Amino acid sequence: MADTSARTANTINSIVIAGGGTAGWMAAAALAHHFKTLTQFGSLPRAPHITLVESEAIGTVGVGEATIPSIRAFNDSLGIDELDFIKKTHATFKLGIEFRDWHQIDTEFFHPFADYGMPLKGVKFHHHLIRLQLAGEKINTADYSFPAQLAKQGRFAQPHPNPPTPLANYGYAYHFDAGRYALYLREYAEQRGVIRREGKIDNVVLDHTSGDIASLKLDSGEQLNGDLFIDCTGFRGLLIEQALHTGYDDWRQWLPCDRAIAVQSEKVGDPAPYTRTTAREAGWQWRIPLQHRTGNGYVYSSAFCDATEAEQTLLSGIDGAAIKAPRSFEFVTGKRKKIWHKNCYALGLASGFLEPLESTSISLIQTGISRLLAFFPHQGYHECDVDEVNRQHHHEFERIRDFLILHYKATSRSDTEFWRHCQSMAIPDTLQHKMALYQSRGHLVSHDPEAFEPDSWISMYMGFQVKAGDYDRRADAIELDALKQQLAQIRETIRQAASQPMSHADFIARHCAAEQ
């Protein structure tokens, strides 16, 4: 029998999720699973009632079709079968991101979900690469990454749970149809008691005494009362901003893109196991291959490009014929000053927006949900809890922000006014400090927790050919010719290993092809 000695009454008896889409249904599924588990273990006498309200008449942005490896942990925490999920969402696998024309036109580099090489003589691997660079050797970091070589050959293999060598330790993520993923999670959530209400939110009713949200009034006249409200209403921030006026930090001085245009295109050839991002005249274009189609988009700055030109750039850069007319939307890069205010908690685009350059949109939903579960107000709202969640939110967004700014600041392109602006713009002190230390001695600064591991920063520094002036001199313990020989052996080991697995397309066809 379960021990109920620690059981406490829950002051949150009703949760209302405003908005569906990826954010809303991720929240609904995670909360439903979480409370089912707590009640089974006897931690709570009963689960809160969860209601999600959404309107089919209101579209979702739906560009979050590429992910980072943390999505696997989220699905696994819900007990979702990976192959079933891939089939139902028409997903493909993602080993990293290919960057074309970012450093200069006709250049490319790869950002894998893995470390490069392995420490040698107790010295981090990138210091040995810097040492060779300073000795005049040309370095391609992709040569030292197993998933990068898999991607180059269009192959895929799931990493072994106990890899025989650090070289074989890597992560992977997915490309999927965001709309299908939301429907997949909706079915999951409804099977666990979540109630969906169809309708538009006509008014947010506040309590006159506390200023908390008391209820949501729908256009049908129905009124949804709740103890906790989760805002998944997208850029509008209908609850967190329009009703509670939380405020927003605008970061467009560092991330100048403020428009995007997206289009789906017909599948052409086998899907690649990576996302492609290509720098354009006033921004960048994404290509996300699914099993049945390809997602494309152009993120750009309206100060340097008009809508007509943006559409022409996008359509001229897609591989297959467009399936539907392009969709455009505007955004302000930045974050909500608070994602938790009073009895309202914001997720997804309602909490802030960082352009999908490194596919962090869905992971930010995931970490937001994780914080809500960790600090859930079972016994009422405590300001220290709210403050800590908002501090973590601020920290995470700033760390990702700096990583994204690096993509623009480090370019050597000067062929358009946009790229010349990016080179000359001021950057946050936190990023300036990181770049200065790398340029001084190859040191990688980490403000834990970081959304991107040190080797992700190495991908950028070396991909953009940011030069380090020195390295950890302990690397000199290996004689230079011996080091070259060791690195050649690592490259060959990785090359041979990457030639063994089946193609990405064959892996999907054999194990997880979507039903047509």
Active site residues: 94
CA distance 276 to 291: 16
What is the enclosing helix (H) or strand (E) of 93?
strand 92-94
User: In which residue are the tokens 């470390």 written?
Assistant: 115
* Cross-strand partners of 54: 198
* Cross-strand partners of 504: none
What is the enclosing helix (H) or strand (E) of 208?
none
Bond into 449 cis (ω within 30): yes
CA distance 291 to 206: 46
353 touches 332 (CB < 8 A): yes
* Cross-strand partners of 51: 16, 195
* Distance, CA of 9 to chain centre: 36
Three-state DSSP at 327 gives: strand
288 touches 262 (CB < 8 A): no
Closest alpha carbon to 117 in 134, 135, 142:
142
Q: What is the chain's length? A: 516
CA distance 459 to 436: 17
Tell me the two tokens of residue 131: 């040492």
Write the DSSP assignment of 401-447 as a string of letters.
HHHHHHHHHT----SSHHHHHHHHS---HHHHHHHHHHHHH------
Ramachandran region of residue 255, left (φ > 0), alpha (ψ -120 to 50) or beta? beta
For 62, residues 6+ apart whose C-beta sits below 8 A from its C-beta are: 21, 22, 178, 179, 262
What is the enclosing helix (H) or strand (E) of 281?
none
Longest dimension (CA), the chain: 78
* Distance, CA of 1 to chain centre: 41
